Amino acid sequence: SVCTPSRYALLTGRYPHRAKDRAMLRWIEPPHETGGMSDSEITVAEKLQELGYATAVIGKWHLGDSEKYFPMKHGFDYWWGLANNAYHRAYDKGLPMYENNTIAIQPVDLARLTRSYTEKAIGFIEQSVAADKPFFLYLPHTYPHGPLHCSPEFCGTSAGGLIGAAIEEIDWSTGQILAKLKELGIDSNTLVIFTSDNGPSPRQSDGAYPLRNVKASVYEGGIRVPAIARWPGNIKGKRVESAPAIMMDWFPTFMALAGGEMPTDRPHDGRDISPVLLGTGARADSQFYANYIDPWTGDVILPVYEIMEHRSGVWKYVALNDGELYNLEADISETTNLKDAHPKIYNRLKNEYDFFTQSIANAPAPGDIDGDGMPDKWEVANGLDPTYTIDAYLDPDGNGKTAYEEYAGSATPKWVTVSTPLVPVAPEYFERLRELQQQAMSTCVVKGCTGKSCFTKECHQRIMDRIKDFKP
Mean pLDDT of 334-348: 91
Tell me the per-residue pLDDT of 106-165, one tens digit each, with 9 for 90 and over.
988 889 999 999 999 999 999 999 999 999 999 999 888 778 788 889 888 888 888 889
Smallest CA-to-CA distance from 441 within 4, 82, 30, 28 is with 30
Of the listed ranges 69-78, 332-341, 359-368, 380-389, the one predicted with least confidence: 359-368
pLDDT tier at 98, thresholds 50, 70, 90: very high
What residue segments make up the domains of the chain, in order of their start?
3-278, 304-359, 376-467
Per-residue pLDDT for 185 more than 60?
yes
Q: Is the link from the previous residue into 147 a cis peptide, with omega within 30 of 0?
A: yes
Q: Where does 42-81 have alpha helices with state H?
A: 44-50
Smallest CA-to-CA distance from 431 within 217, 181, 177, 127 is with 217
pLDDT tier at 101, thresholds 50, 70, 90: very high
Q: What is the pLDDT at residue 244?
A: 78
Q: What is the pLDDT at residue 358?
A: 65
Per-residue pLDDT for 251 more than 90?
yes
Tell me the per-residue pLDDT of 399-456, one tens digit each, with 9 for 90 and over.
777 777 777 776 555 544 333 333 344 445 445 555 555 555 444 444 444 443 344 4
Residues designated catalytic: 3, 62
Q: What is the pLDDT at residue 73?
A: 94
Q: How far is CA 3 from CA 29, 199, 465, in A?
A: 10, 10, 29
Mean pLDDT of the chain: 76
Smallest CA-to-CA distance from 437 within 365, 372, 368, 364 is with 372
Q: What is the pLDDT at residue 472?
A: 46
- The count of C-alpha atoms lying within 13 angstroms of the C-alpha of 248, restricted to the half-sphere facing its C-beta, is 22
Tell me the per-residue pLDDT of 71-87, one tens digit each, with 9 for 90 and over.
999 999 999 999 887 76
Q: What is the pLDDT at residue 369?
A: 55
CATH class label, 3-278: alpha beta
**What predicted TM-score, i.e. pTM, was given to this entire model?**
0.72
Q: What is the pLDDT at residue 408?
A: 76
Q: Where does 315-444 have alpha helices with state H?
A: 343-359, 376-381, 403-408, 427-441
- Of residues 275 and 350, more confidence is placed in 275
Tell me the per-residue pLDDT of 288-317, one tens digit each, with 9 for 90 and over.
666 554 433 333 333 344 454 444 567 888
Mean pLDDT of 240-246: 83
Q: What is the pLDDT at residue 410?
A: 64
Q: What is the pLDDT at residue 336?
A: 95
Tell me the per-residue pLDDT of 256-267, one tens digit each, with 9 for 90 and over.
999 999 998 888
pLDDT tier at 22, thresholds 50, 70, 90: low
Per-residue pLDDT for 466 more than 60?
no
Per-residue pLDDT for 364 more than 50?
no
Tell me the per-residue pLDDT of 188-242, one tens digit each, with 9 for 90 and over.
999 999 998 777 776 656 677 888 877 767 788 878 888 999 999 999 988 998 7
Q: How far is CA 167 from CA 304, 328, 337, 404, 423, in A?
A: 30, 28, 34, 41, 34
